Structure 1
C-alpha cells in the first residue's frame, strides 16, 4: 500500500494542519532582533518577509480557517525570564525570548485566533522541545503544511523531523524566508526530498479542493 502514497497527494478534511514557524515580531520587524541591529528594513530578509512571506502566510491562514484546516503556531520563547530552560545551542548562540516580551509574540495579522494553539519552543526543532507530535496525533493530523522563518534553520528542522515521524509534509516555498536568496534556494534544494514543495497559490487551491468542499 506504500506505493499508493504520495507527498503531493490531496489534503483531507480533518487530517490537515497549517504550522507557522517563528512568525513573531522580534524576527519580522527591523530593529527588534538585538543580535542583528545592522539589518535595516532594506535588508533582503526583511524585504522578502514584508513583500512575500507575511502576505502569503496571511493567505494560508485565511484559507485554513475557512476550509477546515487546523492552524497551529510555534514561536521561540523561553519558559523562564532568564532563559535557563533553553537548549544548550540556544544558550551558546545566544537566542533568548523572555515569556513576558511583547515582541516575542506574532504580529496581529498572524496571531492565533480563538482557540488556535500557540506552542513555545526552546530549540530550533519544534519536535525536539515541545509536545507537538503528541498534539498532532491527538488532532488526527496526517498532512502538515509548513511555512515561516528561517527557511534553512527552524523550517528545515520542522520539515525533516515531521517527515521522519510519518507526517506528509508540504513546505510553502514563497511563504518562507531566510537571510539571502542563495540560502533560500540551497535550503529548499536540500530538504525538498523530505516534503512536497509548492507555492502559496498551489497550496491554497489544494486546501479549497479538499474532500467535502467545492
Structure 2
C-alpha cells in the first residue's frame, strides 16, 4: 500500500496523515469547535484556476503540460468546489463565521505583490483585484456580511489584517480549505498556528497541483500545525459540539 493510500480517508483523522515525527504519538484530542469561536476560511478558490486554453491550439509541449494539469482541474470542479459549498452551508446554518481570502494585486501592474509572487515561473501570477479572474468562484460567493481579505502574499495572515479580525471577533479555531494545499493553504495554516490559533485543514476541500503534492503536504503539516480531517468527520465533530452546547 502506498503512503498516500495509507494516509487517505476513510482512516480516522486521529490516525491518518501521520508523519515520521508523529508515528508513535498518542491520538490527538478533537480541536475546539464551538461555533461561536470558530471560523471557516476559504483560501484562493478563484476564477483564474478555471481558465484553460483550447487544447487544439497548443504545441506538443504545451499539450503535455495541459494534460498534466487535467487531474487538478477535475478535482477542483468535482471535489473541491462542491465540498466547500456544502461545508459553507453547514457552517452558515450553525452560525459559524465564514471568511474568504483571495490572492490579488492592489496595483494593476502588480508591483505591490510579495517577492514570491514576482519571481519568474508558475507562481508569478498577476491578478488585479477588480478583475474577474481574481474573484471567488460564483458557487462559493461570499454573502453580504462575510469578510473577504485580499492578499499579495501566500499567507492570508502575513499579507492582511486577518489575525486582528479573528482576534476582534473572538475566533480561536480556524477551518482552512482551498488551493493550493502545499502553497497558500499551508502558508496560512503555519501562520495561524504560530499565532496560537487552533487550525483544521479539510482534506477533501483542498487541492494541490498533483495528488502526490496534496497528500505529502497534509502529512507534513498535520499534528504540528493543524488537524487534518475529511469534511464528514469535521461536520460530525461540529454537530456533536453544537448538540452539547444546546444541552
Unpaired runs of 5+ in structure 2? 1-27, 55-61
Per the alignment, residue 57 of structure 2 pairs with: none
Residues 130 and 72 (structure 1), Cα distance of their counterparts in 2 relative to 1, 3 Å cut: same
Which residue of the other structure, out of 156, 173, 192, is the alignment partner of 2:186? 156
Q: Deviations over 1:87-119 (max 9, x none)?
A: 112111422100221121011111101210011
Residues 196 and 85 (structure 1), Cα distance of their counterparts in 2 relative to 1, 3 Å cut: same
RMSD of Structure 2 on Structure 1 (CA): 2.3
Per the alignment, residue 85 of structure 1 pairs with: 112
The answer to whether the aligner puts 1:195 opposite 2:217 as a matched pair is: no
Per the alignment, residue 122 of structure 1 pairs with: 152
Moved more, 124-133 or 92-101: 92-101
Q: How does 1:158-197 map to 2 (within 5 A)?
A: 158-192=188-222, 193-197=224-228
Which residue of the other structure, out of 236, 239, 247, is the alignment partner of 1:205? 236
Which residue of the other structure, out of 70, 78, 82, is the alignment partner of 1:55? 82
Residues 148 and 105 (structure 1), Cα distance of their counterparts in 2 relative to 1, 3 Å cut: same
Unpaired runs of 5+ in structure 1? 1-5
Give the distance between the partners of 2:63 and 2:136, measured in 1 at CA.
Answer: 19
Is the contact made by 1:25 and 1:106 (CA closer than 8 Å) also made in structure 2? yes
Per the alignment, residue 21 of structure 2 pairs with: none
Question: Which structure has the bigger radius of gyration?
Answer: 2
Is the contact made by 1:78 and 1:99 (CA closer than 8 Å) also made in structure 2? yes
Give the distance between the partners of 1:25 and 1:14, measured in 2 at CA.
Answer: 31
Give the distance between the partners of 2:29 and 2:118, measured in 1 at CA.
Answer: 36
Give the distance between the partners of 1:162 and 1:31, measured in 2 at CA.
Answer: 36
The answer to whether the aligner puts 1:13 opposite 2:44 as a matched pair is: no
Per the alignment, residue 27 of structure 1 pairs with: 49
TM-score by length of structure 1 reads: 0.89
Give the distance between the partners of 1:137 and 1:177, measured in 2 at CA.
Answer: 28
Q: Deviations over 1:152-188 (max 9, x none)?
A: 0001111111111110000001100011111011101
How many residues are aligned here? 207
3-state DSSP of counterpart to 2:171: coil
Residues 51 and 41 (structure 1), Cα distance of their counterparts in 2 relative to 1, 3 Å cut: farther
Is the contact made by 1:142 and 1:167 (CA closer than 8 Å) also made in structure 2? yes
Moved more, 35-44 or 195-204: 35-44
Give the distance between the partners of 2:170 and 2:246, measured in 1 at CA.
Answer: 19
Residues 104 and 41 (structure 1), Cα distance of their counterparts in 2 relative to 1, 3 Å cut: farther
Is the contact made by 2:32 and 2:198 (CA closer than 8 Å) also made in structure 1? no
